[in-house]
């Protein structure tokens, strides 16, 4: 997840903002697809997020949807919306509902320059809506891969989505904040010269495209 040192370029015009929201919805719904295929027995599986099980990751992803939705609806400064809670009896349904909630909330934002409160990034300043949507988009593009790889499922985001996501990933500061225990991203890795766009995004954000669950070394690649 980007930090409060993220640079703020001029928000995109209306047409670009509509496209960004459409691609954001695609990234979030892409993350739902592998989640729908998990079973309760999968919740203890290790994930590419260091020290997080799939249950930990899913709880984080669900909470972040609620936090960003609150920000879009003008309530982001309330930290209770960002709190990671326990998974319910049906974590898949819980996650799907949270995903649709944040998509619907961002659909209410009428301007790319509307300021949103994101206290997990900064308690002292707000962020343009276009920047906030970019934050959330890149988070869920990568977390979708995290879940798919954990479960040994294929993951192939649309080329248009990957083209938009790569510069966002490259703009995420690669500093000491990535070393924090709860950081969603780790220090960047070198990508192969011939790596595809998804592999480049993963490497920039500290994911090894070659990661495999320790208990299942032969899973399907992304």
What digits encode the pLDDT tens for the residues 65-84?
999 999 999 999 999 999 99
pLDDT the model gives residue 8: 45
Instruction: Tell me the backbone φ, ψ of residue 178, rounded to 5 degrees.
Output: -75, -10
Average pLDDT over residues 32-43: 96
**Which pLDDT score, from 0 to 100, does residue 187 have?**
72
Average of per-residue pLDDT values in the chain: 87
Rounded to whole angstroms, the Cα distance separating 54 from 117 reads 28
Would you call 162 helix, strand, or coil by DSSP?
helix
pLDDT of residue 219: 42
User: Where residue 27 falls among pLDDT bands split at 50, 70, 90?
Assistant: very high
Q: What is the pLDDT of residue 51?
A: 84
pTM: 0.86
Residue 174 has pLDDT above 70, yes or no: no
Does residue 191 or residue 80 have the better pLDDT? 80
DSSP 8-class letter at 172: S
Q: Check: CB of residue 111 under 8 Å from CB of residue 18.
A: no
Sign of CA pseudo-dihedral 169, 145, 157, 100: negative
Q: Is the pLDDT of residue 220 over 60?
A: no
Q: What percent of the chain has pLDDT over 90?
A: 72
Backbone angles phi, psi at 127, to 5 degrees: -130, 145
């Amino acid at each position: 997840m980007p930090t409060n040192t993220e640079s703020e370029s001029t928000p995109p015009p209306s047409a670009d903002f509509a496209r960004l929201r459409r691609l954001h919805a695609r990234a979030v719904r892409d993350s739902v697809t592998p989640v729908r295929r998990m079973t309760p027995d999968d919740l203890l599986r290790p994930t590419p997020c260091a020290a997080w099980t799939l249950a930990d990751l899913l709880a984080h992803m669900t909470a972040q949807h609620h936090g960003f939705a609150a920000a879009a609806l003008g309530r982001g400064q309330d930290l209770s919306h960002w709190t990671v809670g326990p998974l319910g009896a049906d974590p898949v349904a819980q996650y799907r509902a949270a995903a649709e909630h944040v998509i619907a909330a961002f659909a209410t934002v009428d301007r790319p320059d509307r300021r949103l409160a994101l206290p997990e990034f900064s308690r002292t300043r707000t962020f343009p809506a276009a920047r906030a949507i970019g934050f959330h988009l890149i988070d869920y593009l990568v977390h979708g891969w995290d879940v798919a790889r954990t479960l040994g499922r294929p993951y192939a985001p649309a080329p248009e989505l990957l083209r938009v996501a790569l510069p966002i990933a490259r703009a995420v500061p690669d500093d000491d904040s990535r070393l924090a225990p709860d950081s969603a991203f780790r220090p960047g890795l070198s990508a192969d010269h011939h790596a595809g766009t998804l592999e480049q995004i993963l490497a920039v954000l500290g994911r090894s495209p070659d990661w495999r669950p320790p208990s299942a070394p032969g899973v399907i690649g992304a």
